[in-house]
């Protein structure tokens, strides 16, 4: 690995939702130290204990992936979508009126949000080894969703929900024994 920032799951505090339906753990966001009102991109994991309305995020694109649990039905601007297959990303607009109904109990989901005017995101889920080398201005977040991902040649192994954040000019190869998400955030060129 030529640098990159290791982000251990144990170091993430849980933040309760305003509606009491769960908690969120932020994995990473840009710019650093940005909040819910000023992020360009944000990646988090959520423990969802109860269904209910999603918070609106005007101007934000969202990608949600079920990691654990029976899944959910999301009603996005009146259209129902079953999001139950683990590790299958589902994209929708943060502008949309969105409601969640759990399909059989609590779940854990993986969330990626980007401010539409500033960045786009791609979420790829893999069970095979790969290399990541983001271009300048781009960031890549690699997170082990199940099993482990070893960072080749570094002696570092990502356990469940551990992550590595790579910026332009940094690179790493990963040996995957489980399921890993690769999030690429690219700035919008104007």
CATH number of the domain at 22, please: 2.60.120.10
pLDDT over 70 (residue 2)? no
Range of the structural domain that residue 17 is part of = 12-115
The answer to whether residue 1 sits within a structural domain is no
The answer to whether residue 6 sits within a structural domain is no
> Does 106 lie in the same domain as 70?
yes
Residue at which a domain ends, from 115, 143, 167: 115
pLDDT over 60 (residue 1)? no
> Does 74 lie in the same domain as 151?
no
Residue at which a domain ends, from 115, 145, 173: 115
pLDDT over 70 (residue 5)? yes
pLDDT of residue 144: 98
In the structure, what pLDDT confidence band is assigned to residue 55 with cuts at 50, 70 and 90?
Answer: confident
The answer to whether residue 177 sits within a structural domain is yes
**In whole angstroms, what is the distance from residue 92 CA to residue 60 CA?**
9
pLDDT of residue 22: 84
Residue at which a domain ends, from 99, 115, 131: 115
pLDDT over 80 (residue 160)? yes
Q: How many CB atoms lie within 10 A of CB 82?
A: 12
HSE value, Cβ hemisphere, 13 Å, CA-based, for 107: 25
> Does 129 lie in the same domain as 104?
no
> Does 144 lie in the same domain as 98?
no
Nearest alpha-carbon partner for 184 in 134, 116, 131: 134
The answer to whether residue 179 sits within a structural domain is yes
> Does 126 lie in the same domain as 92?
no
Domain total of the chain: 2
> Does 139 lie in the same domain as 80?
no
> Does 47 lie in the same domain as 16?
yes
> Does 134 lie in the same domain as 101?
no
pLDDT over 90 (residue 19)? no
> Does 24 lie in the same domain as 108?
yes
Interval 65-69 mean pLDDT: 97
pLDDT of residue 36: 84
> Does 111 lie in the same domain as 40?
yes
Nearest alpha-carbon partner for 184 in 8, 7, 63, 24: 63
In the structure, what pLDDT confidence band is assigned to residue 3 with cuts at 50, 70 and 90?
Answer: low
> Does 154 lie in the same domain as 83?
no
């Amino acid at each position: 690995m030529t640098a990159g920032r290791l982000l251990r799951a144990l170091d993430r505090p849980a933040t309760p939702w305003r509606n009491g339906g769960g908690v969120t753990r932020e994995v990473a966001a840009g710019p650093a130290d940005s909040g819910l009102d000023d992020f360009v991109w944000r990646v988090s994991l959520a423990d969802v204990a109860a269904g209910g309305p999603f918070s609106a995020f005007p101007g934000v694109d969202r990608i949600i992936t079920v990691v654990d649990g029976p899944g959910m039905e999301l009603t996005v601007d009146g259209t129902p979508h079953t999001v139950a297959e683990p590790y299958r990303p589902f994209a929708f607009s943060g502008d949309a009126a969105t409601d969640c109904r759990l399909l059989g109990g609590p779940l854990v989901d993986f969330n990626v949000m980007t401010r539409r005017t500033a960045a786009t995101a791609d979420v790829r889920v893999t069970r095979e080894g790969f290399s990541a080398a983001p271009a300048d201005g781009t960031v890549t977040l690699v997170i082990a969703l199940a099993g482990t991902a070893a960072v080749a040649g570094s002696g570092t192994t990502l356990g469940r929900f551990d992550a590595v954040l790579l910026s332009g000019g940094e690179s790493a190869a990963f040996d995957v024994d489980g399921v890993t998400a690769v999030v690429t955030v690219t700035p919008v060129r104007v």
